[in-house]
Amino acid sequence: MPNPTDSSDNQHDKPSQAEVDHSPKPAHATTGSSTTPRSRLTKKPKVVANGSRAFIWYALALIIIVIDQWTKWLAETKLNFHDPVPVIEPFLNWTLAYNYGAAFSFLADAGGWQKWFFSGLALLMSLFLIIYLLKAPRKATLLSLGLAMVLGGALGNLIDRLLHGHVIDFIHVHYADVWHYPIFNIADIGISLGVVLIVIDMLFLEKKREVPRS
């Protein structure tokens, strides 16, 4: 007859079956030694374009055009050609002058073709800026501000070339009779400041907008 104690001893001698953990496990680990590539864990910042908000910057460009044309009208009606009117001696005069060329009177002595050449360049630049303002990042406020200022200045001088065949200048910065800066206008100020803002954005802010978020 089988000994009941033997059966109990045999049961204890048999190796116990390993317990199976049926608890759910995450499909992908996000920390530690994860097999998921790090590039999939970082998100590139979503770039939202100006879109319809570009009209705010178009309005700023229009304000620059209006101020530019108004001040040029005042210069034409109140000043005599090349007759300086002291404003802040010996640094600033109002002096009416005409520029038939580009900046610093470049090609001013050409035979007249420069009017259409520079007008065409200004028109192409303005169209480019109008489109670029639509696509520029909405968060890039400094960039859009610079683009709007350049746009307003370019269109302000373009109006002069088309209406008069030359650009009207009247702001004369100098030091006594020793040093004279080329006479300029409000449109030139808008272009210059706008370019400075665009360069600042390119050097210091553009890369920060492209940093991926973890």
Q: Active-site residue 109, yes or no?
A: no
Tokens of 183: 């006479």
Q: Active-site residue 201, yes or no?
A: no
Which residues lie across from 199 on neighbouring strands?
none
- 109 vs 105, 163, 181, CA distance in Å? 8, 19, 19
From the candidates 68, 160, 188, 201, give the one annotated as an active-site residue. Answer: 188
Which strands make up the sheet holding 92-99, listed edge to edge? 85-88, 92-99, 167-175, 179-180
Closest residue by Cα to residue 201 from 126, 155, 137: 137
From the candidates 68, 160, 169, 201, give the one annotated as an active-site residue. Answer: 169
CA pair distance 31, 100, nearest whole angstrom: 67
Point out the residues that are catalytic.
Answer: 169, 188
